[in-house]
Structure 1
Amino acid sequence: MLNIILLGPPGSGKGTQAELLVKKYNFFPISLGALLRKQITENTPHKALVQEYIDNGQLVPDSLSFQLVVNQLVQNQSQGKPLLFDGFPRTMDQAAFLDGLLIKHNTKISSVILLDVSHETLLQRLKDRATIQGRSDDQDDQKITTRMHIYAEQTLPIANYYQAQHKLYRVDGAQNPEQVVKAIEKIIDRWIKK
């Protein structure tokens, strides 16, 4: 089964690409960011904790991230769809956790698609997204800087982890969304034909 991870910095277009790929390939999407925002909008017991971390541009504790991802995997068991991870894993600990979790479910990650986008383009996209979607984590320069720093320090090393497993594919995420999704589709279609 084809399970993929979309990897990239904040503003790289992971969410946009995930939506397009879910429609075409019938993936079961697991978007950590969307799951966390849902904790806030649905006023769950974790709302205050999640809000505090998001407001500071920081990653929520692994214990909560793991719980949300496990719940999603259990939800997909009856459907048996291929998985698309968007915004998870974000650290090496999370990558190791995900590998172990998927083994328990008799599956694994097939491909990791890294969206490469310049820092300047990312900043502009986040400012635009803040205006259009009103996301609080995109409206403050300090929060954006913190998120970029966390990405560089904690998430980017994951690329080397998957590169060593020959699963990493890089895509120019600065292109328009239609060009990006075509590039990703070529990678997925090649994998499907294997």
Structure 2
Amino acid sequence: MLNIILVGPPGSGKGTQAERMIQKYGFMSIALGALLRQQIAENGANKARIEEYINSGQLVPDDLSFQIVTELVQAKPSNASLLFDGFPRTIVQAIFLDDCLVSYHAKIDGVIFLDVPDVHLLKRLKHRATIEARPDDQDDHKIKARMHIYQQETLPILNYYQDQNKLYRVDGTEAIDEVTKAIETIIDRLKL
């Protein structure tokens, strides 16, 4: 069992890389953003609340995130390896995740950070907006709000995991296949 967090700014390629890691290693995916968008598409009980936050570029409140993550961790088979994509995004969420996993005799084994400078991100998000028609990628104000939140709230988790010797940096500006190879090298080392 190997539990990995994939972290990076919006548009860094987390979703693409997460899909590749799931296919290669059989990870069970916990992709909070995708789960939240699914709740909206399926008119879930929290649709209006989730939409309000996502459409303004804000993070969904912790109580809702914690509920979703806890339900998924509880439901996982005991031998399943987890790949977290888009969670945790704050120190509070990182501490919650550590505590949640400990209660199921598990832990985070590695945190892979896709490092991409802001100048590349805006181009990628605009491109993704035309392909996927995601409302959170189509408006400059929303993109800037997401980037600001990322810098203020998510970047500090890098130090949290660095202090635990669990942080691995990958140059996210490389070609997609090169980024994949770099991540696979890290995961293969962690599996030993």
Structure 2 counterpart of 1:109 = 108
Q: How does 1:170-185 map to 2 (within 5 A)?
A: 170-185=169-184
**SS of the residue 2:76 aligns to:** helix
1:71 to partner: Cα distance: 1.3
Structure 2 counterpart of 1:141 = 140
Which amino acid in the other structure matches residue 61 of structure 2? P
1:2 to partner: Cα distance: 1.1
Structure 2 counterpart of 1:33 = 33
- Deviation digits for residues 43-89 of structure 1 (CA, Å, limit 9, x no counterpart): 011001111101100000101001111111122136x3100000000
**SS of the residue 1:34 aligns to:** helix
- 1:157 and 2:152 aligned: no
How many residues get paired? 192
Structure 2 CA distance for aligned equivalents of residues 181 and 92 of structure 1: 27
Which amino acid in the other structure matches residue 27 of structure 2? F
Show structure 2 runs of 5+ residues with no match.
none
Q: How does 1:74-89 map to 2 (within 5 A)?
A: 74-77=74-77, 80-89=79-88
Structure 2 counterpart of 1:169 = 168
**SS of the residue 2:83 aligns to:** strand
Structure 2 CA distance for aligned equivalents of residues 100 and 134 of structure 1: 36
Show structure 1 runs of 5+ residues with no match.
none
Structure 2 counterpart of 1:51 = 51
Structure 2 CA distance for aligned equivalents of residues 74 and 178 of structure 1: 33
Structure 1 counterpart of 2:60 = 60
* Pairwise CA RMSD: 0.8
Query: Identity of paired residues, percent?
Result: 61
Structure 2 counterpart of 1:93 = 92
Which amino acid in the other structure matches residue 129 of structure 1? R
1:149 to partner: Cα distance: 0.4
Structure 2 CA distance for aligned equivalents of residues 70 and 192 of structure 1: 25
Structure 1 counterpart of 2:122 = 123
Which amino acid in the other structure matches residue 86 of structure 1? D
Name the TM-score, length of structure 2 as normaliser: 0.98
**SS of the residue 2:24 aligns to:** helix
**SS of the residue 1:43 aligns to:** coil
Structure 2 CA distance for aligned equivalents of residues 98 and 40 of structure 1: 24
**SS of the residue 2:187 aligns to:** helix
**SS of the residue 1:114 aligns to:** strand
Structure 2 CA distance for aligned equivalents of residues 114 and 60 of structure 1: 21
Structure 2 CA distance for aligned equivalents of residues 97 and 191 of structure 1: 23
**SS of the residue 1:120 aligns to:** helix
